[in-house]
Amino acid sequence: MYLPPALGPEGLIAGLPRAGTTLALTLLQTLPRVIALDEALREPELRLAPTSSDVAVIPRRFLREQRRLAQDEGLVWTYNKEGVVSSDQFDGPIRNNLRSRTVNASWAKLPHPLTPKTMLVAKQPVVFTAALDVMAQIWPVIGVVRNPIAVLGSWNSVDFGIRTGRAAVPERLHPDLQKQLEALPDQYDRQVALVHWFLGRLKQYLPADRLIRYEDIVSSGGSVLSVLVPEASSLNTPLETRNRSDSYDPGILLTVGERMLASEGPAWEVYSKAEASALLDEMLAGGVSVVR
C-alpha cells in the first residue's frame, strides 16, 4: 500500500453516522489552525476500493490535493452551506415525514490563512469506521459516538441511505456484515445490527480516550475534542442536546428502541442498556407509553 507523504498535520473523524461528527467538525473549524473537510472524499473512488488498505490510500491523496489547492487557490472541496461547514445538514423541507439534506459538496473559501501548521481535519464516519483497522494505524483519529436510541431516532427522521439498514462501503469491505444484513428482512432489525457493528469497530480499534461521546461534546462546549486538536481545550461553546428531538417519530422510536434494548452486542460496551432505556423513556414522555 503506497501512501503519498503528508504535507502537513492531518486528523480524521470516524464514528457512528448521525452521532455528532459534523458538530465536532463545525466546532473544530472555529479554531485558527483547523480547516474542516466534510464528507468530501469522492464516491467513485470509494466504490472501487476493494479493501480497507485501498480505502486508506484515498484520504492521504485527497488531503494532499486539498492542501495544495488551499495554498494555490484559497479553496477546499467540502460539504458546506454558504461556504461554511454546517451542522444543520438536514434542515430542508419535510418530504414523506423525512428531513431533507440542504448541503452539497462544492468549493469553499478558507476560513483561516493557510500555514505549515494548519491542520486539515476530515470526517466521513461511515467510510472511516469501515476502514478503521488500517486508518487508526496511520492518522490521529477520533470516533464520535452517541446514545444508540438517539442515533436510531435520527436515522429514521432523515432522507439518508442508512435509514434502510444498509451501508454500501462497509458491506463491500466486510462481506460478513453484508450477509448478516441480507438475512434480516426488517429494516429496523438491520439498523440495530448496524449500530452494534459501528460501535463494535470503534471500540475495537480506538483507545478509550479517543471515543468521544456526543453528550460530552455538548456538555463541555467542545473542549473534549482537544484529544485530536489540543487547542480545542479552549472551546466553551454553548450547546443544547438534540437527543430528545421533536423530529423523531414516537411510534417508530418505540419500535426500533425496544428492539435495540432487546438486542445483545458490542454497543452495550460503549453505552449501558440503562442509559439507553432512560433516554427512550425521556424521549417518549408524554407520548407513547413504554411497558417493559
C-alpha pair distances (Å), 36 with each of 70, 123, 212? 12, 8, 18
User: What would the pLDDT profile of 48-105 be if each residue is shown by its tens digit?
Assistant: 888 999 898 889 889 999 999 999 999 998 887 776 665 565 455 455 555 545 567 7
Range of the domain at 230: 10-284
In a domain, 289, yes or no: no
CATH number of the domain that residue 130 is part of: 3.40.50
Instruction: Look at residue 36 and tell me if it is in a domain.
Output: yes
Residue 203 within a domain: yes
Contact 262, 148 (CB under 8 A): no
Spell out, as residue ranges, where the chain has pLDDT lower than 70. 1-2, 43, 83-103, 286-292
Spatial separation of the C-alpha atoms in residues 137 and 272, rounded to whole Å: 28
| Structural domain includes residue 290 | no
Torsion angle defined by CA atoms of residues 130, 132, 138 and 144, in that order, rounded to the nearest 10 degrees: 110
Residue 242, in any domain of the structure: yes
CA distance 113 to 130: 33
In total, how many domains does the chain have? 1
* pLDDT for 1: 66
Global pTM reads 0.90
For residue 14, being part of any structural domain is answered with yes
Distance CA(52)–CA(136), nearest Å, equals 11
Contact, 265 vs 189, CB < 8 A?
no
Please state, in angstroms and rounded to a whole number, the distance separating the CA atoms of residues 188 and 139. 34
Q: What is the pLDDT of residue 290?
A: 41
C-alpha cell at 154: 435520527
The C-alpha angle with vertex 268 and arms to 250 and 23, in degrees rounded to 5, equals: 65
* Domain-located, residue 59: yes
Q: Quick check: is 89 in a domain? A: yes
